[in-house]
Amino acid sequence: MLDKKVAQLLNDQVNKELYSAYLYLDFAVYYDEIGLDGFSNWYKIQAQEERDHAMLFLQYLQNNGEKVTLGAIAKPDKDLSDKLQVLKYGLEHEQYVTGLIHAIYDAAYGVKDFRTMQFLDWFVKEQGEEEKNAEDMIKKMELFGDDAKGLYMLNSEMAARTYSAPSLTL
């Protein structure tokens, strides 16, 4: 049995990951609407990854005999009217998620729940990659985004991203 606080934080994370998927889907719609289908592709894949993360948390809870309680997913509330700002919202959100993962890890550490800590190790590493990707996208947009040819190349780069399911085993 998981510690009550750890179980609640893990359960809450299911909702947070689904919200992340919803947010990134909103970003994808925005980029489609302004004609940047490559950026839209990048965020559609990001949304798939976040959904998979939610499923990993859900499965971990179930594997540990915990009841999963799903809550409402909030509507994204970001003003999506600037292609660079959307990328900055993405970084901001990844930093927020990193904080959530760290809070769960800290709670698990506090009760010596080594199995949950081991489960979270993958997410800690993943969040480092997510933040780096978001930072790189911002840097590239700042460097090349105001140049039509540069933006075309960035969009093509984002269009080349393909989906691969997480390799974490439970």
Q: What is the pLDDT along the chain (170 residues), one digit of tens a residue?
A: 899 999 999 999 999 999 999 999 999 999 999 999 999 999 999 999 999 999 999 999 999 999 999 999 999 999 999 999 999 999 999 999 999 999 999 999 999 999 999 999 999 999 999 999 999 999 999 999 999 999 999 999 999 999 887 766 66
CATH number at residue 146: 1.20.1260.10
Residues 135, 123: Cα–Cα separation, whole Å: 18
Query: Do 86 and 105 touch, CB atoms closer than 8 A?
Result: no
Q: Is residue 127 part of a domain?
A: yes
Count of domains forming the chain: 1
CA atoms within 13 A on the CB side of 156: 7
The domain in which residue 123 lies consists of: 4-159
168 in a structural domain = no
